[in-house]
Structure 1
């Protein structure tokens, strides 16, 4: 199992454009929040105690979710590619070191 995980990580990071695109969505969201949205949201949430900290935590949760989802979709794309080319059956027949 460790060999399969190592292979998938190696394939994921070999495609530098795919790895950057999976992080690009989170970076765009972060910069839009810092540049435009933060001041407006803090003004709207004035009645909430510690609104700045609440909004920052909320935004970080969203950014981590976006990064996790795009990375998972990249991994599922590799799984589809492996099954399409019947590489998955090759892995099942090959004896991997544990």
Structure 2
């Protein structure tokens, strides 16, 4: 049995924090590139209203690029850049 799909689905429901310990949100879904069978982003909901006031107020989520992920364990740690960088013109994805 291939363990890879189980690992990928196990990311759903995990809390996401920055390396500084700031809560970002909770993984609701994954953005995948099926051609190369890789995760390209984390669809995060239940957002920290201090970081994402507009999105949280409207019930939206954000997609954090997977390249920002620094560690995966009981929680997911992402680069601190998520605290500082936000593209207000892109409501769907945080862009560096």
The normalised TM-score by structure 2 is 0.25
Which has a greater percent of strand? 2
Q: Which has the larger radius of gyration?
A: 1
The TM-score with structure 1 as length reference comes to 0.24
